[in-house]
Each structure stands twice: as structure tokens, then as C-alpha cells.
Amino acid sequence: MVVRNKATIADVARVAGVSTATAGRVLGGYGYTSDEMKDQVQKAARQLGYRPNALARGLITGKTRTLGVVAGDIQNPFYASVLRGISNVAEADGFGLLITNSDESRSKEVQSVELLAQKQVDGLIVTPSDTRKARHLHNLLSMEIPLVLIDRAVAGLSVDRVAADNIAAGEQAVRHLFEAGHRRIGIIAELVEDEGDGLAAFLARAASGDPMEAEALYPSWQRLLGYVRAHRIAGVAVDPRLVFRAGSYSAEAAQVGVPLLLGLSDPPTALFTTDGTMSEGAMRAITALNLSIPRDLSLVCFDDLDWMSFMQPGISTMSQPRLAMGEAAARMLLERIQGENCPPRTVLLPAELISRGSVLRRVLDPAV
């Protein structure tokens, strides 16, 4: 068997009859070289089947034309669509992607960020698992590595960010249920981290209408804030018993919440689930309890997943612009890489209510 060695810059220079430095400038796309020498080098490179060494070129130019992405869970359909959006923009501009998965673990996220920085990516897009400290993300600024956050913000970290308008979306979902005549509306949400003095204090403060620093809240807390605001607008007091806190990104944890809420002496007639994972768990419970949607229970979810349109009846949901979020994040990052020096930007994209058949219109008792 004949082993064919890869052509090197020195080989190209020899065939083209130029110095190695000249061949390097032409093939690396930096510095000045006459058109005649460029033609000679490019012809020799084609003749030899030369392929550039991206790592070596990156060491010379300081640019690798790669973007690093740290996703929370690449198995989640949300991240699959976001990554597709990032890929669309990056590839159109000649950039490659290095994708890592944090599993919503701070330690894994730190490892991923360090790995991508060592790979000398030109910039990073991160969904932070820690919205409070995230020292590793603050460190990227001191290293002058461009950074864009997606889906979540980090308190005190002034960088570009893209997210859905979660508060408005949560409010719209619950107002849709109020408009259909529901007054007892349960919510199933992760609510992983404590906010302030806990859930009860958060609900009381949100119900009072006090201004809240909402930007660095986790999305599920933001959607809960929208839930409370919808109650305030409707003039309906929030019953804390109707708020189920799953406490983890787990469909199994969400599944536990449905029978608990429906077991109340005055159970909800409708549910709002705050993302695809919570929706999956809720549907498992509804199926196990042999309940009929919407006859026994109305349902509005957050995030439009394939199964929601396949079911009979279809499931009403707030559809996040996941693809557009990924595209916006990639465009912002590329602008920073290319030298954009404007103040940090926050882009909040609206979610769309897709009304299917999972909400039953109730006739209100005038005395209520």
C-alpha cells in the first residue's frame, strides 16, 4: 500500500518557485503579495492538492473561523432548533461550530468554556446554567473573547443577549385561559433556583406589582412572573397552592405535580406548563389519570413541540422563535468578532400563541 503524504506549504513554495513565507501569505490570506505570485502559488496548491492547516493558520492570524457553543441539553428540541439557527448564520459566513453540552451543570459548563477557549474559538455562545455568579463567563471578557448569551442572562455581566420575551409570553398564555372563562389555573414550572426569600415571597411581591429585577431570572421564574401578572390584570388572586415547583429539569418531577394539583379540594380547571420538559411530564400524568383534554382539563404549554400538533385534539402553546434566536445570537457574535464596538445589546423576541383544541371555553357564573 502506498501512503500519500499531505502537501505542505514548503512543497507548494517549491513547485511555485517562491519562498515559504510568500506561499504562507497567499495560502493564509494575510499580508501583501503580487497578483503574479498569487497565481503561481494557487496553481501549485491545486496541482499538489494542498489543504490548509486551520490550526497553524490560527496561530499566525489569531483567528480560527470557529464559534464555540455551550448548550444546556442538546437532546432538548429547544436547543436543536437554536443550534440550527446558529449553524445557518455561521456556515453562510464561512465559520465552523464546536458544540458542547453542559447538562445544566455549572461544573460541566466551566469545563466546556475552558475547552473551547483552549481551542481558540473566535467567540462563544452560551446558555448559562448559573445566572448569579458565573465567574468563568466574566473571565472571558478579560480574555477579550466575544460572548453572546442565549435564553438567560447573568447578573452583572454586560454582554449581548438573545432570549424570548418570557414574561410577556407567560402573561399571554394565562390571559388566554382567563378569556376562556377559567379562574383556577395551575402552573407547573421547574423554578430550580431560589429567588429572593423563596417562592411564597416571590409570589407576594409579584402580586403586589412591585418592580422586580427580572432580567437575570431563570426563564421559568420569568414565565411565573407573567402568570402572576395575568392574574393581576384579571383581578384574580393567585392561589399559591396552584403553583407546582418541580425543582429540576425533569419530566418525571413535572409528572408528580398534576395529581397533586388535581387532588386539591378546589382543583384547577386549566394548566400552564412552562416548557417542553414540563409539558411532557404533565401529559404523562394526564394520560395515566385517563383524563380527557379539554373536557376534564384545559392545557396551554410553552414551546411548540412536534407531538403537540399530532395529538387529537392538538395542544395550544406559546411557540418560541427558537430558530430566530439562534440566528440572532450568531449574527451578534459575528459582528463582535468583526470589531463592532457598540454597547451590549439585549434582543427579546416575542413568542406566538398557537391556539389548537386544548382549551375548553367555560361559562362563568355571574355571581363569581
Q: For 15-34, what is each residue's pLDDT tens digit?
A: 888 888 888 788 776 677 78
**Cβ atoms of residues 81 and 136 within 8 Å:** no
Rounded distance between C-alpha atoms, residue 176 and residue 272, angstroms? 10
Q: Burial of 32 by CB count in 10 Å (0-12 exposed, 13-18 middle, 19+ buried)?
A: exposed
* CATH, range 9-61: 1.10.260.40
Q: How far, rounded to the nearest angstrom, does the alpha carbon of residue 110 sit from its chain's CA centroid? A: 17
Q: Once rounded to an integer, what is the mean pLDDT over residues 233-239?
A: 96
Which amino acid makes up residue 356? R
Backbone angles phi, psi at 129, to 5 degrees: -85, -20
Q: What would the pLDDT profile of 296-347 be if each residue is shown by its tens digit? A: 999 999 999 999 999 889 999 999 999 999 999 999 999 999 998 999 999 9
| pLDDT confidence band for 366 (50 / 70 / 90) | low
Global pTM value: 0.82
Q: Do residues 190 and 274 touch, judged by C-beta distance below 8 A?
A: yes
| Chain position carrying cell 383524563 | 291
Give the Å distances, CA to CA, from 36 to 11, 16, 333: 18, 11, 36
Residue 244 three-state SS:
strand
pLDDT single digits (tens) 90-128: 999 999 999 999 998 999 999 999 999 988 899 999 999
Q: How far is CA 170 from CA 37, 48, 184, 210, 302, in A?
A: 62, 60, 16, 18, 8
66-164+322-350 against 166-320: fold identical: yes
Percent with pLDDT over 70 in the chain:
93
Question: What whole-number distance in Å separates Cα of residue 98 and Cα of residue 215?
Answer: 28
User: What are the residue boundaries of the structural domains of the chain, listed by start?
Assistant: 9-61, 66-164+322-350, 166-320
Q: Which CATH class is domain 66-164+322-350?
A: alpha beta
Report d(CA 48, CA 63) in Å as an integer: 25
Confidence of residue 61 (pLDDT cuts 50, 70, 90): low
**167-186 residue pLDDT tens:** 999 999 999 999 999 999 99
In CATH, what number does 166-320 get? 3.40.50.2300
Length of the chain: 368
